Chains A and B, each alone.
Chain A
Amino acid sequence: MKKLALALAFCSPVLAAENAPIYGTVDSKCVITMETPGIYGNPSPSLLSTDPVNGGVEPIVRFDVLSAAYYKAVISYPEQFSSSPSLSDVVNWTGVVTVNEVTDTQMSGYDAAKREFNNVTEYDLDFAGSTWFKIESEANYGYDKSFPAGEYNSVVEAECIAL
């Protein structure tokens, strides 16, 4: 008799089932804001520079990090024009990324610890707060060759990558 009841229990079908969903949203703890757009100055026919000495304006990008030591900033100065008149010669690109302003004095050590390769500069964002990065960009056309007249645009790439 007991065996029969046990067999019936195993054979009883599932009458109802329900799935309970769980929702979640993750907000970014690293926010990039373009604070100052850059402007190329043209101190000589063959040079375009964002250096204020050359009449340019250096672009400034702000990284807001809410959690310390979870992200790194990857900033690339331009190596080509995104739009420009037709160029028949080579453009030599140089640039440098530096920390312009901080909200924590310890962030001032970012420059000493930055890593540079090609046109890319990486910073480990070890402290919570905001860090302003200044990007300097220069373009030399040919060998002292004059840039054709027209509008020149380039792009600085700034990324916040989770470690």
Chain B
Amino acid sequence: MSLPGGSVVDNVIYRYTVTKEAVDPLLVSVENLHSSGDGYAFRSTDDWSGVAGNSIYRVIPVSIPGSAFGRGSISTSGIGTVSNARVVYTYKADSCFDPTPGCPNYVLPFTPPEPVSAWDPLKDSDVLLALDNTTSVEEDSSEDLSLEERLETLETILGGVNSTELAALALAQSQLLFAMSVLPSSYRTDIPGGTYNETIRYTSDNLPENKNGLRNGLAQQLKHQEMVQLQYQAASAEEILK
């Protein structure tokens, strides 16, 4: 039995006719194997033992996922026959079980983004044109010299270059500093060599006091005495008032 995905069987309705004698035992089962192969998804057994055969019509409400229903059959156990059997399954199907556009749980499929073309500088025409410029370098003729000769030549070249460049640089710097008057002019004056003896001598042993200082000290002493006398004068004046 194949039902739509997401369907749920809510009723199993069956009808069949039993032909038997009343005294004979008979069990009739309407059943569906479970789709997983484990047991039955649905099974209803009617016991006809002790009653005469007849037609039976049953509506059995269930709530079983349609996916669980496997092969269906009607089996008997006992003496009797079953005929005119008919089994009807009523079910509800969820049309959005497999979401389609318009279903609430529909998710738009993932669309991979278009590949981004990376800029390869080695394929750029301008870069290739620039790289195509070749510079011819003349080969050094000194390749034929020996190692010692090469070192000597190198020292000569480097020494000359260094001394010349350093002298020119120092001269330019000194001229700049003099122009800025940062260095005194005597900086460049040539001082003759020889011995320079002491020419100034202090001959007197008596060091006279500074008269200006003396005058100043005396004035301060006089002022002090005057201020001291003022307080006595103020005390005598208060006694008089009393």
Interface string of B1-42 (1 = CB under 8 A from A): 000000000000001001000100000000000000000000
Q: Give the interface of A toward B (CB within 8 A).
A: 99-109, 111-112, 130, 132
Interface code B41-62, partner A: CB below 8 Å = 1, 0 otherwise?
Answer: 0000011101111111111000
CB contacts under 8 Å to A, within B41-98, are 46-48, 50-59
Nearest-neighbor residue (CB-CB) of B46 within chain A: A105
Given the complex, which residues of A lie within 8 Å of B48, measured CB to CB? 105, 108
Check A101–B15 contact: CB distance below 8 A: yes
Closest CB in chain A relative to B11 CB, distance in Å: 14
B51 with A108: CB separation less than 8 A: yes
Interface centre among A103, A108, A132 (most CB of B within 10 A): A108
By a CB distance below 8 angstroms, the chain B residues around A100 are 54-55
* A106, B47: Cα distance in complex, Å: 8
Q: Are B47 and A102 in contact (CB under 8 A)?
A: no
Distance of B222 from chain A, by nearest CB (Å): 131
A130 with B57: CB separation less than 8 A: yes
A-B contact pairs, 5 of them (CB 8 A): A104-B56, A105-B54, A107-B54, A108-B56, A130-B57
Which one of A101, A109, A112 lies within 8 Å of B56 (CB-CB)?
A: A101
| A101–B58 CB distance below 8 A | no
Question: Are A105 and B56 closer than 8 Å at their CB atoms?
Answer: yes
Give A134's nearest chain B residue, CB to CB.
B55
Query: Closest Cβ of chain A: how far from B53's Cβ, in Å?
Result: 7
B54 and A99 form a contact (CB under 8 A): yes
Across-interface contacts of B59 in A (CB, < 8 A): 103
A107 smallest CB distance to B (angstroms): 8
Give min CB distance, A162 to chain B, whole Å: 25
Whole-angstrom distance between the Cβ of A155 and the nearest chain B Cβ: 25
CB closest residue in chain A, given B47: A105
B22 touches A112 (CB 8 A): yes
User: Which residue among A103, A105, A108 has the maximum number of chain B CB atoms within 10 Å of its CB?
Assistant: A105
For B55, give the chain A residue with the smallest CB separation: A101
Residue of B nearest to A100 (CB): B55
Contact B52 A101, beta carbon cutoff 8 Å: no
In the complex, are the beta carbons of B51 and A101 less than 8 A apart?
A: no
Contacts of B22 in A (CB 8 A): 109, 112
Determine which residue in B22, B53, B56 has the highest number of CB atoms from chain A within 10 A of its CB, and name it: B56
- Closest 8 pairs (CB-CB, A-B): A108-B51, A108-B54, A101-B55, A109-B51, A105-B46, A101-B57, A105-B48, A108-B52
Q: How far is the CA of A100 from the CA of B56 in the complex (A)?
A: 9
Docked complex Cα distance between A113 and B42 (Å): 33
**Residue in A103, A130, A132 whose Cβ sees the most chain B Cβ within 10 Å:** A103
Nearest Cβ distance between residue B216 and chain A, in whole angstroms? 131
Q: In the docked arrangement, what's the CA distance between A107 and B58, Å?
A: 12
The distance from the CB of A97 to the nearest CB of chain B, in whole angstroms, is 14
Please tell me if the beta carbons of B56 and A102 are within 8 angstroms of each other in the complex: yes
Give Cα distance in the complex from A158 to B80, angstroms: 32
A103 nearest CB across to chain B (Å)? 5
Q: Which residues of A contact B47 (CB under 8 A)?
A: 105
Please give the distance in Å from B203's CB to the nearest CB on chain A: 151
